[in-house]
Each structure stands twice: as structure tokens, then as C-alpha cells.
Amino acid sequence: MKSEDAAQAKGIHQSRKLPAPELAELWDSIVLDPAIKDQLLSQAVVNFTVRPKVARTVLPLHGAILLVGPPGTGKTSLARGLAQRTAESFKGSRFTLLEVDAHALGSSMMGKTQKAVSDLFSQSIAESAMAGGYTIVLLDEVETLAADRAKLSLEANPIDVHRATDAVLVQLDALAEQHANLLFVATSNFPQAVDSAFTSRCDLVLEIPLPNKAACEQILASCLEGLAATFAPIRRLPASEGFSKVVSELVGLDGRTIRKVVANALTVRKQVALRPEELTMSDLLEAARAAKAARSVRRSS
């Protein structure tokens, strides 16, 4: 990329070299079954150890991973953490992480979206792959780029949207053939909206579930421990009576919402807002119940 502005103009939101210090803690911050994480990291590593050496007629690897699941489950953070851990697995190798701004590629002008998508893959991404080293591309909210054509109405959706999906598939195939040093990691909150042809090209489609009770406990305890680094008395809460009751209320919420429950608990009483170290289990329970109620309202609406 010649400049940040030029990269953004071609649909790249951010480009950074890996490993990157700011991404170091992301992988561990996502509470997930270790077996799922191991599978995910192994798939990324295999992309760079096996795919360059084995013909696609033997193993039809496309160099693409798709993470799906409800909003707030940490898919984007996990994808960034995956890129970091993959780079760490190849010590001394040069890695680049490109993050695509899919929404910047849309256009009301006929043919413009398709061209922008083609340029993104055939120029911006291909240039990074040709520069040497390894490139990992994050395609967040991939349904924006690869919408399910079978569910699109030509009356409601301009044909440019259909052509954009076609362009993504064509370019994915071309890059898979030409650049074995390239890995796409895509995310979607709505996998049913992703074109089946894109999904079929993914070497791994991994569902990131809502946290179970044990994970909810771990997320809550971790969040409180982080707060206790600034407000020491909060360190007592995970061992307090009522902690398990709060955890039970959190089951069914995503990780992002659970952390927001802690933030909202600090606002339940003005006294706690002024003196966060006075946070109690009752504050947390009230905030957890409010979050659960809000979730029920959203589901019913």
C-alpha cells in the first residue's frame, strides 16, 4: 500500500504487520472451548504449511475460514487474535493483516460495486500477497460482500449486488490458484444471508456459540478482576455470596453484553458511580436482570 488513504480507497480499512502488540491479548480474551480454538488455529496453520505443497485436486483448500454466530460472541476479535497467533506460530516470517471495509465498497452507480470488489481482490489484496511473506485478510460481515443471490429480489436489489457476489467468487477462485500465502478469515452474524457458493469455498465454517454457564462465570470474573486493578475492593466480589446467582442470570447473553452488564451495574446507584469500589452483587444482579429483560424484548419485537 502506497499510503493509508490509497488503501482505504481500495476497500482496505487497515493494514498492519504481525505480530502486533495491540493484538496480543485478543485471543485469550475470547472465552471459548479450547478444542474449538485449537481447531481454528490448526486450520489457519495448515493453510500455510500444507496448501502450498499439495495440489487442490488432492485437497481442495481455498484458503478461507468462516466464523458464524450471534452478535457479541467475539468473532471479529477472535479473527484478529487468530491472525496474531498464526503469525506467532511462524517465528521470523513476515505476516500482514488486511482488514476490509466491506461497507465502503457499495455504490448506487450501476457496475461500481462490482468493479470496487474486483479491484479490492485483484489489486489491493493480490499486491499484498505478491509482496512476499504471508497475508491474512479479515472480511468482517461478509454477507455484505457475498449476499445470498438465491434470496435477493431483482426488484428490491439492484443487479449490481448480484454481480458483486459473482465478483467475490471469481476473485476468490483466482487468488486461491495464484497465492497459497494468502488466508481469508470471514465473519457473519447472519450465515443464512451468505451465498452458499461462498460458504462451500470455505475450508472451515466454525460456529462461535453464546457462552455457557462456565464461560459466563469466567467472563464475569475476568471483568471484575480487571476493574479491581483500579478499584481494589471489587476483588472481593467473585468470592461473595450471590456471585453464582448473577452468573445464572447471565446465561443466554453474549460476551460483549456480559461485560456491559458490569459497566451498567456501576450506574445502578449514584453512590457507586461516584465510588465504583462500592459495587455490590445486588448491583450486578439488577443489571444482569435488566440485560436479560432487554434481550427478551428485542427477541419478541
Q: How far is it, in rounded angstroms, from Cα 281 to Cα 190?
A: 35
**What is the percentage of the chain residues whose pLDDT exceeds 90?**
80
Give the CA count within 13 Å in the CB-facing half-sphere of 42: 7
Sign of CA dihedral 248, 270, 225, 233: negative
Q: Residue 94: its pLDDT value, please?
A: 96
User: Helix H segments across 93-181?
Assistant: 112-119, 126-130, 159-178
Domain boundaries, the chain: 4-207, 213-293
Q: Residue 182: its pLDDT value, please?
A: 98
Q: Residue 1: its pLDDT value, please?
A: 42
Q: Residue 153: its pLDDT value, please?
A: 58
Q: Residue 61: its pLDDT value, please?
A: 95
Q: Residue 126: its pLDDT value, please?
A: 94
**Other CB atoms closer than 10 Å to residue 271's CB: what's the count?**
11
Tell whether the model's pLDDT for residue 257 goes beyond 70. Answer: yes
Tell whether the model's pLDDT for residue 218 goes beyond 50. Answer: yes
Q: How far is it, in rounded angstroms, from Cα 142 to Cα 122?
A: 17
Q: Residue 40: its pLDDT value, please?
A: 98
Q: What is the mean pLDDT of residues 167-195?
A: 95
Q: How far is it, in rounded angstroms, from Cα 211 to Cα 33?
A: 9
Q: What is the mean pLDDT of residues 171-176?
A: 95
Highest mean pLDDT among 100-109, 253-262, 290-299 belongs to 253-262
Tell whether the model's pLDDT for residue 290 goes beyond 50. Answer: yes
**Other CB atoms closer than 10 Å to residue 275's CB: what's the count?**
13
| Mean pLDDT taken over the chain | 91
Would you place residue 88 in the very low, low, confident or very high pLDDT band (cuts 50, 70, 90)? very high
Q: Residue 180: its pLDDT value, please?
A: 95
Grid cell at residue 8: 482505504
Grid cell at residue 258: 456480559
Ranges 59-63, 291-295, 297-301: which has the least confidence: 297-301
Q: Residue 231: its pLDDT value, please?
A: 98
Q: What is the DSSP letter of 210?
A: P
Sign of CA dihedral 236, 242, 248, 250: negative
Q: What is the mean pLDDT of residues 82-106?
A: 92
Q: Given 3-state DSSP classes, what are the helix, strand and coil percentages for the chain, each rounded to the nearest 5?
A: 55, 10, 30
Q: Global pTM?
A: 0.90
Would you place residue 155 in the very low, low, confident or very high pLDDT band (cuts 50, 70, 90)? low
Judge if the upstream peptide bond of residue 52 is cis by omega within 30 degrees of 0: no
Pick the residue with more confidence: 6 or 263?
Answer: 263
For the domain made up of 4-207, the CATH class stated in words is: alpha beta
Q: What is the mean pLDDT of residues 234-263?
A: 97
| Strands 12-18 and 95-100, sheet pairing | antiparallel
Grid cell at residue 87: 503469525
Tell me how many degrees the CA angle 242-243-247 measures, rounded to the nearest 5: 115
Q: What is the mean pLDDT of residues 82-93?
A: 97
Would you place residue 5 in the very low, low, confident or very high pLDDT band (cuts 50, 70, 90)? very low
Pick the residue with more confidence: 22 or 5?
Answer: 22
Q: What is the mean pLDDT of residues 147-156?
A: 70
Q: Residue 154: its pLDDT value, please?
A: 53
User: Helix H segments across the chain?
Assistant: 4-9, 26-29, 34-49, 75-89, 112-119, 126-130, 159-178, 196-201, 213-228, 243-250, 255-265, 270-274, 281-300
Q: What is the DSSP letter of 194?
A: B
95 forms bridges with which residues in the sheet? 18, 134
